[in-house]
């Protein structure tokens, strides 16, 4: 899933989350703009299935029907948080 946002100047980090049916967020991946390191949150259903690229594209390996949900890419600067949702459908 591409982030669908232009990477802003002074980006601090990018983060992906998905939303539970009740609307509460579950954070799944984080990438620092300076360290270039990726951290994956401890979410058992996505363990060893995620990949976050340098341009903040999130890949989910071995997609399942349960992956059908609203994912949101967040790009964070000192002044703002930019969000772009993607609704995932698995066929």
Summarize pLDDT for 53-68 with one digit per residue, the tens.
999 999 999 999 999 9
Report how many domains make up the chain.
1
What does the pLDDT read at residue 5? 84
In a domain, 25, yes or no: yes
Q: Which residues are CB-contacts of 22 (< 8 A; sequence separation ≥ 6)?
A: none
Question: What is the CATH number for 59?
Answer: 2.60.40.10
User: What residues form DSSP beta bridges with 52?
Assistant: 58
Q: Is residue 5 part of a domain?
A: no
Answer whether residue 1 is part of any domain: no
| List of the chain residues with pLDDT < 50 | none
Query: Quick one: pLDDT at residue 49?
Result: 97
40 assigned to some structural domain: yes
Residue 6 lies in a domain: no
Do the domain assignments include residue 4? no
| pTM score, whole prediction | 0.92
d(C-alpha 74, C-alpha 77), whole Å? 10
Number of alpha helices (DSSP H) and beta strands (DSSP E) in the chain: 0, 7
pLDDT value of residue 18: 97
Q: Which residues, in sequence order, are bridge partners of residue 50?
A: 60
Range of the domain at 37: 11-87
Which neighbouring-strand residues pair with 82?
75
């Amino acid at each position: 899933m591409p982030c669908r946002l232009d990477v802003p100047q002074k980006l601090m980090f990018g983060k992906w989350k998905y939303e539970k049916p009740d609307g509460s967020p579950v954070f799944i991946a984080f990438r620092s703009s300076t360290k270039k390191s990726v951290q994956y949150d401890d979410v058992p259903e996505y363990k060893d299935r995620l990949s976050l690229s340098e341009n903040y594209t999130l890949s989910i390996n071995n997609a399942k029907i349960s992956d059908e949900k609203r994912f949101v890419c967040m790009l964070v600067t000192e002044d703002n948080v930019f969000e772009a949702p993607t609704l995932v459908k698995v066929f």
